[in-house]
Structure 1
């Protein structure tokens, strides 16, 4: 009986090790340091997007990272917006050399009446977010002056 038990235990351990090794290692809270690229699409007056602008320089990436950290997220809110976003931003994160980049899309509205920003993320852990006046202005300058 103990031989069968030992064999079952060894098989169980091998399967467990295999399964743990195959788990996709994307962190729950993504690390902004692993931001590798930013694509920006500005919305035209007719609702279509301008040609995408790609940002890969470290200085601009650092500025975007600082602003993103300031967003106040409400993950379980499903907002309805009255107009199309001003800018659509795609952030590219490389968490591991062995897995493809992860993409997160942000729809951003710049609110002219109170100088804040509203952001909707496709990352379910973020959802709906807002930026204060100072950070909204910084983000607007980065995204619309490229």
Structure 2
């Protein structure tokens, strides 16, 4: 074998090894794949189905808002009251696969107009949202 053939085989093997070892799973949270949000509002300690958000403009605003959340994945918060809203986000990563769902408990803090979010996605965990983005999120989720 020629020396260039050996280098070519080594290069192809190395490239296949790198491609095979990449682990791009749906947990690699990609908000561009968000397609729908189901919202349940808490009323008297039970959930009431409020709305399904699927229109492109609102989903785009939600994407921008969720990108602003400051996540702290290693914190397990204890919150005394039940969440104000439970939102289920639907992500479509592949046309041949079912959607991935992530659930979010969202508390709107009246004292400082911020929001606290707890995700079942372990890469996110506990998050906070500033005043302006919290207001945007509240308006969308409560359909104001």
TM-score normalised by structure 1 residue count: 0.80
Change (3 A) 1:102 1:24: farther
2:118 to 117, 120, 124: 120
Does the alignment pair 1:49 with 2:47? yes
Change (3 A) 1:25 1:99: farther
Find the aligned partners of 1:25 and 1:127 in 2 and give their Cα distance. 19
Does the alignment pair 1:37 with 2:36? yes
1:41-89 CA deviation, whole Å, 9 max, x = no partner?
Answer: 0000x11111241111000000100000000000010001010000000
Provide structure 1 residue ranges, at least 5 long, that are not aligned to the other structure. Answer: 1-12
Provide structure 2 residue ranges, at least 5 long, that are not aligned to the other structure. Answer: 1-12
TM-score normalised by structure 2 residue count: 0.81
- Return the offset for 1:138: 0.6
Which 4+ stretches in 1 moved above 3 angstroms? none
Asked if structure 1 preserves the Cα contact closer than 8 Å seen for 2:27 and 2:121, the reply is: no
Find the counterpart in structure 1 of residue 4 from structure 2. Answer: none
